């Protein structure tokens, strides 16, 4: 993982005051504090609590104050599943789907992911970078300070490396952290047509090279009948395990492939999509503490009917994360707030679950929960300041972002 932005003076002691804070520090509940204050020292949260209880010691040390004047503060958002680096777009495919073609039919006919692979290979590094920077800025305008970015539209060693380097450069150029995921096993590229197993061999061979260049924080596979089988997924996971890299999985999006059980047996960070996951798969995830990342953008945009089994996740105590899944084919959204609204309206998640999904559970899905996703002493000073009384207001409204300020590693940014 890499964090961008200027280094902040490590002695700078700042106070945000006059605000409602939702901390998400307990296993359930918002962790609300009225008339609250947050003290940061350098890039770390030093104190959070009711302003009336702010110790005198801190009051004397404060060098900068931010009066939030009735707004609210939440942990910064974490978008734990995106495909932010790609060329071209799929607006034409959207039209075709509206005329009756299905996502799977388009993919089988060589469109879909493959058409984005062609556009990505044809794009220059600068074109890819500028596209990704613009998308990252849109996410940041909704309070995001950490983004997971997958490769998966290069599908050759050369082009996967280019895309992962672009992802790293996003964190060098913007005040945002990026966690990279190698998704070489996203689709079969044209040069491997009909030779899926050979392609998996190639993906497994590329991984050590990409890892040696420090381009890979985690490894993912699209396990699906239009992607890769569970047996092929296992081979990629074994290659990841040989390098001690964590895995995650696009699992059971369009059909049940047993991907959740497989991912759980490898101690995956998360399984993502999961509309068709079985209860046995969820039990396996629960035992291995795998996060379920649900993706309402793809569900909505592909006009899916099969809902992810939220009730089973609750029953088996599986933590739920939420993400945009931003990609040109199945979820071209850049709005975490809209995803939270959709998680509630379409999936019947509670507003509190939706917020946990983009904060504390998203941090878990990226293996970053010791320093992100909650507001408490010792965590990174990453939070979002909103023109709203309470974070539930931000879910109930949709279509605009009332973000006032976002704070990344103790540095404050206004829109
Ligand atoms: O997460 N499911 C596979 N990958 C993406 C879609 C990729 C595409 O259609 O370009 C997803 O939905
Ligand atoms: Fe995805």
Centre of ligand 2 from the C-alpha of residue 121, in Å: 19
Centre of ligand 2 from the C-alpha of residue 250, in Å: 6
Task: List, for residues 302-330, the tens digit of each pLDDT value.
Answer: 999 999 999 999 999 999 999 999 999 99
3-state secondary structure at position 222: strand
Entry pTM: 0.97
Could you give the residue ranges of the DSSP H alpha helices within 77-181? Answer: 91-98, 103-108, 113-122, 125-140, 157-173
Centre of ligand 1 from the C-alpha of residue 344, in Å: 22
Whole-angstrom Cα distance, residue 226 to residue 112?
11
265-277 burial, b at 16+ Cβ within 10 Å, e below that, comes to ebebbbbbbbbbb
Cβ neighbours for 363, distance < 8 A, ≥ 6 positions apart: 78, 80, 146, 369, 371, 372, 373, 374
Whole-angstrom Cα distance, residue 224 to residue 138?
30
The finding on whether 308 has its CB within 6 A of some atom of ligand 1 is no
| Bridge partner residues of 150 (DSSP) | 181
Residue 9's pLDDT is: 82
Q: Quick check: 145 and 382 in contact, CB under 8 A? A: yes
Q: Quick check: 360 and 75 in contact, CB under 8 A? A: yes
Whole-angstrom Cα distance, residue 75 to residue 60?
26
Mean pLDDT, the chain, rounded, equals 96
Residue 47's pLDDT is: 97
The finding on whether 341 has its CB within 6 A of some atom of ligand 1 is no
Whole-angstrom Cα distance, residue 21 to residue 72?
6
The finding on whether 294 has its CB within 6 A of some atom of ligand 1 is no
Residue 124's pLDDT is: 98
Q: In this model, does residue 11 exceed pLDDT 90?
A: no
Task: List, for residues 374-392, the tens digit of each pLDDT value.
Answer: 999 999 999 999 999 999 9
Could you give the residue ranges of the DSSP H alpha helices within 3-124? Answer: 56-61, 91-98, 103-108, 113-122
Judged by its nearest atom, the ligand closest to the C-alpha of residue 106 is: 1
Return the closest-CA partner of residue 363 out of 371, 354, 351, 355.
371
Whole-angstrom Cα distance, residue 76 to residue 142?
9
Whole-angstrom Cα distance, residue 6 to residue 61?
23
Task: List, for residues 55-110, the tens digit of each pLDDT value.
Answer: 999 999 999 999 998 899 999 999 999 999 999 999 999 999 999 999 999 988 88
CA 130 to chain centre: 20
Stretch 241-269: mean pLDDT: 98
Judged by its nearest atom, the ligand closest to the C-alpha of residue 148 is: 2
């Amino acid at each position: 993982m890499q964090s961008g932005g200027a280094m902040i003076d490590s002695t700078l002691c700042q106070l945000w005051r006059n605000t409602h804070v939702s901390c998400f520090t307990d296993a359930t509940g918002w962790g609300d504090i009225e008339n609250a204050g947050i003290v940061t020292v350098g890039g770390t949260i030093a104190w959070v609590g009711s302003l009336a209880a702010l110790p005198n010691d801190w009051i004397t040390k404060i060098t900068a104050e931010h009066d939030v004047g009735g707004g609210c503060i939440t942990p910064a958002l974490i978008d734990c599943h995106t495909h932010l680096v790609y060329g071209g777009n799929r607006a034409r495919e959207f039209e075709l789907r509206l005329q009756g073609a299905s996502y799977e039919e388009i993919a089988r006919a060589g469109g879909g992911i493959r058409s984005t692979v062609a556009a990505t290979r044809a794009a220059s590094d600068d074109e890819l970078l500028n596209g990704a920077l613009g998308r990252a800025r849109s996410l940041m305008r909704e309070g995001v300070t950490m983004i997971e970015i997958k490769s998966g539209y290069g599908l050759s060693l050369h082009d996967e490396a280019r895309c992962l380097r672009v992802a790293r450069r996003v964190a060098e150029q913007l005040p945002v952290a990026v966690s990279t995921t190698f998704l070489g096993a996203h689709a079969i590229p044209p040069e491997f047509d009909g030779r899926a197993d050979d392609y998996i061999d190639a993906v497994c061979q590329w991984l050590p090279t990409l890892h040696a260049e420090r381009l890979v924080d985690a490894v993912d596979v699209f396990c699906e009948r239009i992607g890769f089988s569970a047996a092929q997924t296992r081979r990629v996971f074994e290659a990841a395990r040989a390098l001690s890299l964590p895995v995650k999985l696009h699992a059971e999006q369009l059909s049940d492939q047993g991907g959740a059980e497989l991912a759980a047996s490898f101690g995956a960070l998360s399984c993502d999509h999961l509309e068709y996951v079985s209860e046995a798969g969820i039990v396996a995830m629960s035992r291995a503490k795998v996060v379920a990342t649900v993706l309402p953008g793809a569900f909505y945009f592909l006009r899916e009917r099969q809902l992810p089994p939220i009730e089973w996740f609750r029953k088996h105590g599986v933590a739920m994360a939420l993400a945009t899944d931003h990609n040109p084919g199945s979820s071209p959204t850049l709005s975490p707030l809209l995803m939270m609204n959709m998680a509630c309206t379409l999936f019947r998640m509670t507003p509190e679950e939706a917020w946990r999904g983009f904060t504390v559970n998203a941090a878990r899905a990226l293996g970053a929960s010791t320093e992100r996703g909650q507001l408490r002493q010792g965590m990174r000073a990453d939070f979002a300041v909103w023109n709203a009384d309470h974070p539930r207001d931000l879910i109930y409204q949709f279509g605009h972002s009332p973000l006032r300020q976002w704070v990344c590693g103790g540095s404050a940014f206004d829109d």
